[in-house]
Chain A
Amino acid sequence: MSRFFATGSDSESEESSSADEITPKAPGTTFKQSLLLSDDEEDTKRVVRSAKDKRFEELTNLIKTIRNAMKIRDMAKCLEEFEQLCRAFLKSKTIVDKEGVPPFYIRLLADLEDYLNQLWEDKEGKKKMNKNNAKALSTLRQKIRKYNRDYETEIAAYKENPQESADEEEEKEPEESGSSSESEGEAGDEGVTAKVFLKKKPAAEATSEASKFLKSAKGSGDESSSSDEDDDDGEWGSDTVGSGSESSDDGEGKSASLAVVFLKKAQEGEKTSEKKKDVRKKRHKKKERLEEEAEEEGGEEAEGGWEKVKGGVPLVKEKPKMFAKGTEINTAVVVKKLNEILQARGKKGTDRAAQIELLHALAAISQENNLGQGILVKIKFNIIASLYDYNPNLAAFMKADMWKKCLDCIDELLDILFDNNNIFIGENIAEDSENLGISDQPFRVRGCILTLVERMDEEFTKIMQNTDPHSQEYVDNLKDEGRVCGIIDRLLSYLETKGSTEEICRIYLRRILHTYYKFDYKAHRRSLGLQGETKSEQDQEESEGEDSAVIMDRLCKFIYAKDRTDRIRTCAILCHIYHHALHSRWYQARDLMLMSHLQDNIQHADPPVQILYNRTMVQLGICAFRQGMIKDAHNALLDIQSSGRAKELLGQGLLMRNMQERNAEQEKIEKRRQVPFHMHINLELLECVYLVSAMLLEIPYMAAHEFDARRRMISKQFHHQLRVGERQPLLGPPESMREHVVAASKAMKMGDWRTCHSFIINEKMNSKVWDLFPETQRVREMLVRKIQEESLRTYLFTYSSVYDSISMETLSEMFELELPTVHSIISKMIINEELMASLDQPTQTVVMHRTEPTSLQNMALQLAEKLGGLVENNERVFDLKQGVYGGYFNRDQKGGYQQKQGYQRDQKGGYQQKQGGYQRGGYRNQNQSNY
């Protein structure tokens, strides 16, 4: 920052305004921030110092305890503390390397050694000491002797001039006492290097103390405190005459009333800073060791000087004061000023709120002075950027009001952009090729509106993630989604005319992401037909808009054609599928999924895309279910449901796990991936759909393969639920959704479709699950029909052995299905060789062949199989025996023999298997021919 501002300094208004702005915040933070703002370089300095401080404070504390222990002759304590001190000193090695060994440390070493020697000599005292203490004493003495060897020179130097240090010490004890006296003491201690370090801490404390009562005094206090800070900085870096004078000067300031302080500063601001400059220069010469630091300080001092002064007159509120009176305000000046403000950006101590205010003020100025839209756009960009910067932590979410401010800003920016066709913005425009001022040429501004909007959208998501979804607040926040969509739409139309295809793709994706999960009720109503006409005017108007399906189609197709980054396309496809599935366009959705081959390589995608994929698969499964494609539904949902982590996979919540598996960091990341509540897929619906489809598949399958030894499970989860149901000691009427499905499954096992139906579709289940579908009635009808059909199949599987023949009419009555349906189901079963029967056309009856093996026969077959295994194992034992004899002396031969044997065995096994197959087939054939 230029020295001009530092000295010229009538930009107080900003400081004051910022101070005003901040007042609603907690006073403590206000103070700190404004203090920090006043010169950020000092801040970087502060970091160093605070680390140093911390270390040194640790050391001094330890020293204090040692001295106390010395006083009471507690040698054990002394030893202990000394060891700790050594450790602490090692830790602060980096700082010590930079600063030299702190004098207080040396002093302690010297004192301690003297003290120990003294004790050692004192034989009387030693005798009186208890054993522990005596032991500690000898150890400590040895230790310190060894240790002090490294610091001989320093200790010698100290011993030459122990007086000052003693003074020092006295001062140090009453640390809380007035800082002014201390600073005076310091002033006296010129020329002793040792002193500087010691002073540093008290000085810092003095600062904080000063700030404490400054804060309580008035808002303007920060000025003086910052000046204090500066002085301190100067001081602990140096021991020059200049700094001495300065600090004494300072002490005066403090002891005098505050008003005096800043009065003086305000008047003599220039002078002071000039003086300071001198001081700085002197320091440069004098202290090579701290050269760098001092330099920094010099710069910061200058900067600090500017802001400090401006803060000094808090009540002046004229905005133009940002610039010197009479300065002609033109683009160049504003840009310069803007850059100035921006330089503070991202630095640690910057008061972000104040910065935003500054920018706003600047925008107002430029507007007032008709500097043209170019500069305004530029400033707006920066305002938005600093709004985003307001929260330094990426994980934290913006406050809703901040975000709304940002929203307004973007809106305004878009207004400007729409109004002025001659503004070009882009990230690729270099800073120096910008054209902000010359209005007859098109403006060129660096900046990317798209990124800002994207960030805004992300912040919106974050806000939603961090709001309790069951509160009114969430609803209120959600209402803003309309505005977000509006902005995205506007930007979309803007970019369509001006942006590159990549940008268009990106904004399209944003639009898609805001569309895909919403059910289009308008289109739905329209597709239902005439109802729309009777609606009121407003509804009519509403339904004028484009169907979301059409929009999705248009946007997605553009992305498919133009996008070059894989990720955007993948997301677009998934959203498209999701949207199709949501609106029950099953075939389109399925075809798109299959064509995209996403299933093959989705595991390489990043987690958010995987979550989207999971959501899409689930939606696809639910869609298939609505369409009556039970098998497809089951397959689509299997992956998600079988893991039992549906919640996690869909990004709808974290599972409780022990902390070993996931540390806090991971948890944060996972939390960031969560889908906002309004986009959630109902997990109970999901599970119900899955279980019902599993039931419709599994129960007939179980009935068909009752005796199959190696029956595989279609759905593990479903079996698990069944087992849980069986384990209940007392079966009450079903309560939860799962219990309903289990009860229904039991009914279906007996072929009792009516009970099954009543369990699956009743009021409880309606309210829990089925009413969540858009076309509830249709889904229910489909479900009933499926239940009837599958119950019929189950019935035939289970009880076919009891019948010789059964009339189809009876069946159709039993299951309330039409005759042709029954006919087709049975035909299908016969064709698939699931049911050994034939249809007798004239009498409309099913004639059973009774060729299924009975349970006894099944058992015998199983036993035969097992015996086969036993024999095989036995033979292996035999082989081994043979092999041992054959190969004991000739290994080659043995290997060959064994191999051959193995081969034979395999062959035999194969043959046996084949035989088994034949036997079964033969058995059936025989029986059939008998029939």
Chain B
Amino acid sequence: KGGKKKKKPSNNKPLMQTKNEHKSVVLKIIKHYQEEGQGSEVVQGVLLGLVVEDRLEITNCFPFPQHTEDDADFDEVQYQMEMMRSLRHVNIDHLHVGWYQSTYYGSFVSRALLDSQFSYQHAIEESVVLIYDPIKTAQGSLSLKAYRLTPKLMEICKEKDFTPEGLKKANIGFEHMFEEVPIVIKNSHLISVLMWELEDKSTVADKHELLNLSSSNHLEKSLQLLMDRVDDMSQDIVKYNTYSRNLSKQQQQKHQYLQRRQQENAQRQSRGEPPLPEEDITKMFKPPQPPPRMDTLLIAGQINNYCQNVKEFTSQTLGKLFMAEALQGHNN
């Protein structure tokens, strides 16, 4: 069965350093996407495994079935439980250790992901989310990343305080929302043998997917997505701007009111009258509803993610282009 590697730190230090993965899990995820996902559609599934020392070993997985709006009575949780029970019967690892999701040009940082990962991590402390990028994989390099929410973010999510003040106090930026966990993939020997054999058999063209020089399509898509996010961000900022302007205006009014009240009281005092009763100022000046800032944070994270992607992609492509140029120069 599955091989295992690095250590998971002791329990009081919940940062997971490594995660082991079984090759069959990777293949299953890839297969799942190939079969069911297309375009920007996203496929999801459950990861099973166990914690060994300071590492998390993922030894199995199963997909969430696609289900349409029609069968509303489909119970996902029920399905999961059923599935896990069945797996237990055949004596396979059945402990729930997280979930996986495919991504489209690196867009996965969303509220939905945050929420479900939070609930996973809240319930099962060692949960991870595996993000599989089929497009990058198709270009020749397997892209699989494991993420966990940072303890800080967990705190915030627990408190559900997404106001600007709350986030400020928590001192969290988009960089500190997720932490990536290194992945090590282990194969059984039989599979390794099979892989070697396959590689031997495959044609040259298949192997040089990696050397594909075309770039504009990928970049265009990325830019398009990036632009959308930037637009969202702009909107959010405008919203926030209005909010803070309203807030400051109100503060001013409040201040003026207080001053007036003070003056009046002073006058009354000089005349020997009792001061005016204190009124509930917060009632008079209801502060405007602060816009939730979590989304902005997520968008920033997403933008960051896109940028990383583009950067990675361009650096690789540039390298390839130089190589191609050199080759051509050599040929000439």
- Asked whether, in the complex, the Cβ of A880 is within 8 Å of the Cβ of B227, the reply is no
Cβ-defined partner of B224 (8 Å) among A854, A859, A883, A884:
A859
- Asked whether, in the complex, the Cβ of A884 is within 8 Å of the Cβ of B223, the reply is no
Interface status of B316 (Cβ within 8 A of chain A): no
With known contacts A856-B216, A856-B220, A859-B220, A866–B245 Cβ distance under 8 A: no
> Which of A219-227, A260-268, A871-879 binds B?
A871-879
> How far does the alpha carbon of A720 sit from the alpha carbon of B255 in the complex, in Å?
55
Q: How far is the CB of A659 from chain B (nearest CB, A)?
A: 41
Interface status of B241 (Cβ within 8 A of chain A): yes
> How far does the alpha carbon of A866 sit from the alpha carbon of B303 in the complex, in Å?
13
Interface status of B263 (Cβ within 8 A of chain A): no
For residue B248, which residue of chain A has the nearest CB?
A884
- Asked whether, in the complex, the Cβ of A873 is within 8 Å of the Cβ of B241, the reply is yes
Main DSSP-derived SS at the B contact region: helix
- Asked whether, in the complex, the Cβ of B227 is within 8 Å of the Cβ of A862, the reply is yes
Interface status of A346 (Cβ within 8 A of chain B): no
- Asked whether, in the complex, the Cβ of A866 is within 8 Å of the Cβ of B220, the reply is no
The size of the chain A interface, using a CB distance under 8 A, is: 21
> How far does the alpha carbon of A436 sit from the alpha carbon of B234 in the complex, in Å?
90
Report chain B residues within 8 Å CB of A862. 227
- Asked whether, in the complex, the Cβ of B234 is within 8 Å of the Cβ of A873, the reply is yes
For residue B227, which residue of chain A has the nearest CB?
A863
> How far does the alpha carbon of A866 sit from the alpha carbon of B225 in the complex, in Å?
13
Report chain A residues within 8 Å CB of B230. 863, 866-867, 870
For residue B233, which residue of chain A has the nearest CB?
A870
For residue A873, which residue of chain B has the nearest CB?
B237
Q: How far is the CB of B58 from chain A (nearest CB, A)?
A: 38
Interface status of A907 (Cβ within 8 A of chain B): no
Interface status of A881 (Cβ within 8 A of chain B): yes
- Chain A residues 433 to 480 lying within 8 A of chain B, measured CB to CB, are none
> How far does the alpha carbon of A874 sit from the alpha carbon of B237 in the complex, in Å?
7
- Chain B residues 248 to 272 lying within 8 A of chain A, measured CB to CB, are 248, 251-252, 255
Q: How far is the CB of B4 from chain A (nearest CB, A)?
A: 45
- Asked whether, in the complex, the Cβ of B223 is within 8 Å of the Cβ of A859, the reply is yes
Q: How far is the CB of B303 from chain A (nearest CB, A)?
A: 10
- Asked whether, in the complex, the Cβ of A880 is within 8 Å of the Cβ of B224, the reply is no
Q: How far is the CB of B67 from chain A (nearest CB, A)?
A: 26
- Asked whether, in the complex, the Cβ of B227 is within 8 Å of the Cβ of A877, the reply is no
With known contacts A856-B223, A870-B230, A877–B216 Cβ distance under 8 A: no
Q: How far is the CB of B46 from chain A (nearest CB, A)?
A: 37
Interface status of A869 (Cβ within 8 A of chain B): yes
- Asked whether, in the complex, the Cβ of B238 is within 8 Å of the Cβ of A856, the reply is no
Interface status of A855 (Cβ within 8 A of chain B): yes
> How far does the alpha carbon of A876 sit from the alpha carbon of B234 in the complex, in Å?
11
Interface status of A594 (Cβ within 8 A of chain B): no
With known contacts A855-B216, A880-B248, A866–B241 Cβ distance under 8 A: no
- Asked whether, in the complex, the Cβ of B216 is within 8 Å of the Cβ of A873, the reply is no
Report chain B residues within 8 Å CB of A854. 216
> How far does the alpha carbon of A859 sit from the alpha carbon of B230 in the complex, in Å?
13
With known contacts A855-B216, A866-B230, A860–B223 Cβ distance under 8 A: yes
- Asked whether, in the complex, the Cβ of A877 is within 8 Å of the Cβ of B241, the reply is yes
> How far does the alpha carbon of A916 sit from the alpha carbon of B233 in the complex, in Å?
22
Report chain B residues within 8 Å CB of A863. 223, 226-227, 230
> How far does the alpha carbon of A859 sit from the alpha carbon of B215 in the complex, in Å?
14
Report chain A residues within 8 Å CB of B234. 866, 869-870, 873
> How far does the alpha carbon of A880 sit from the alpha carbon of B237 in the complex, in Å?
12
- Chain B residues 25 to 61 lying within 8 A of chain A, measured CB to CB, are none
- Contact flags (1/0) for A876-895 with B, using CB distance below 8 Å? 11001101100010010000
- Asked whether, in the complex, the Cβ of B244 is within 8 Å of the Cβ of A881, the reply is yes
For residue B231, which residue of chain A has the nearest CB?
A866
Interface status of B219 (Cβ within 8 A of chain A): yes
Q: How far is the CB of A354 from chain B (nearest CB, A)?
A: 79
Q: How far is the CB of B304 from chain A (nearest CB, A)?
A: 14
Report chain A residues within 8 Å CB of B241. 873, 876-877, 880
- Chain A residues 169 to 207 lying within 8 A of chain B, measured CB to CB, are none
Report chain A residues within 8 Å CB of B231. 866
- Asked whether, in the complex, the Cβ of B245 is within 8 Å of the Cβ of A859, the reply is no
With known contacts A855-B220, A863-B226, A863-B227, A870–B237 Cβ distance under 8 A: yes
> How far does the alpha carbon of A877 sit from the alpha carbon of B224 in the complex, in Å?
26
- Chain A residues 233 to 286 lying within 8 A of chain B, measured CB to CB, are none
For residue A869, which residue of chain B has the nearest CB?
B234
Q: How far is the CB of B313 from chain A (nearest CB, A)?
A: 12
For residue B235, which residue of chain A has the nearest CB?
A873
- Chain B residues 171 to 223 lying within 8 A of chain A, measured CB to CB, are 216, 219-220, 223
> How far does the alpha carbon of A880 sit from the alpha carbon of B242 in the complex, in Å?
10
> How far does the alpha carbon of A510 sit from the alpha carbon of B231 in the complex, in Å?
63
- Asked whether, in the complex, the Cβ of B244 is within 8 Å of the Cβ of A877, the reply is yes
25 example contacts (A-B, Cβ-Cβ < 8 A) are as follows: A854-B216, A855-B216, A856-B223, A859-B224, A859-B227, A863-B223, A866-B230, A866-B234, A867-B230, A869-B234, A870-B230, A870-B233, A870-B234, A873-B234, A873-B237, A873-B238, A873-B241, A877-B237, A880-B244, A880-B245, A884-B248, A884-B251, A888-B252, A888-B255, A891-B252
Identify 16 new A-B residue pairs, CB closer than 8 A, beyond the known A855-B216, A863-B227.
Answer: A854-B216, A859-B220, A859-B223, A860-B223, A863-B230, A866-B227, A866-B231, A866-B234, A870-B233, A870-B234, A873-B234, A874-B237, A877-B240, A877-B241, A877-B244, A888-B255
Nearest 5 A-B pairs (CB), nearest first?
A873-B237, A859-B223, A856-B216, A866-B230, A884-B248
Q: What is B's interface to A at a CB cutoff of 8 Å?
A: 216, 219-220, 223-224, 226-227, 230-231, 233-234, 237-238, 240-241, 244-245, 248, 251-252, 255
